[in-house]
Amino acid sequence: MYDDLREGFTEYLRYERKLSENTIAAYERDVDQYLRWLDEEGIALPEVDKVVARSWLFRLSREKLSKNSLSRKISSIKRFYAYLIEIHAVQVNPFQTIHSPKKDKPLPKVIKEVDMEEFFSQLYKKDDPLSQRDQVLFELLYGSGMRVSEVCAVDISDVESGAHMRVIGKGNKERIVPLSRKTQEILARYLAAGGGRALLAEKAKGAPEKSALLLNHMGARLTRRGVIYIIDKYVRQGALHYHVSPHSFRHSFATHLLDHGADLKMIQELLGHSSLSTTQIYTKVSSTRLRELYNAGHPHA
């Protein structure tokens, strides 16, 4: 019944909006479902008003869709009506004032403690300059919960007396993070005369990097992209059996602290969160993990 409008809408998405084929296919499915429902109800497109639009939402609510799926369907129909108005097929968008539900935030990806232990055992099997650098890198990401951008920005002068490190976080906010004994130990070895950093600095083209703590294989400051490459390298080598992001080490730092009884306020301070509500997402991660352990271990689960 609406074949011409559907084809026109697809061309509009593909050539004017330049959306991906997967996105176009999702929009087409949503619009087809909507048009079939209108046909079943005997309602023509020009007759759709806010009441009909609400009826459509009620119809969707019975499908028990996730917030993300419902939000996408509403977005699809809104864009369809924007196209219809543009070609003068209808005069108003009855979905214009309908707000999509807030999307569910995915829980942070956390590395299991047993996998983290295996990762670090592999990490410490070598002692060449790049391995020393990597040991410092991951001790800071996991041992101190620093953001990857913060770790890459650390200068040698930020290491205070070996036991603490000065970190400049989001919004140029400064905090002091404690360093574990293991981190202090590998830092001392890395920064010693003839240690990993000195040997990496010798590879710099031109003037050597004097301030950066972490250097790449060419003696320049390590970047976020470089950290991602390093993580992928260890995954390929089997130190981790699944891909993770640099932020997963920060998530794991917070979750493992919480699992072992640390106070949420303390974790907030260590992470440099301005609001406790941001830190509270880790309570959801821990309760999810608790449920998994219960289901796996209790005979009546």
Residue type, position 136, single letter:
V
Buried b (16+ CB within 10 A) or exposed e, 34-67: bbeebeeeeeebeebeeebbeebeeebeeeeeee
18: left (phi over 0), alpha (psi -120 to 50) or beta: left
Q: Respond yes or no: is residue 217 known to be catalytic.
A: no
Residue type, 172: N
Q: Give the active site residue among 6, 14, 189, 273.
A: 273
Catalytic residue among 2, 27, 142, 282: 282
> In 3D, which of 36, 34, 10 has the Cα closest to residue 24?
10
Q: Give catalytic status of residue 289 as yes or no.
A: no
Give catalytic status of residue 247 as yes or no.
yes
Active site residue 282: yes
Longest dimension (CA), the chain: 82
Cβ atoms of residues 142 and 254 within 8 Å = no
From the candidates 79, 133, 250, 256, which is the catalytic residue? 250
Active-site choice (67, 112, 170, 173)? 170
What is the residue-wise DSSP string for 2-59? -HHHHHHHHHIIIIIS---HHHHHHHHHHHHHHHHHHHHHT--GGG--HHHHHHHHHH
Catalytic residue at 34? Answer: no
Tokens 């602290």 identify what position? 257
Tell me which of 79, 133, 147, 197 is the catalytic residue: 147
Contacts of 131 (CB under 8 A, 6+ apart): 123, 196
Catalytic residue among 59, 109, 247, 289: 247
Please indicate whether residue 236 is annotated as part of the active site. Answer: no
Residues labelled catalytic: 147, 170, 247, 250, 273, 282
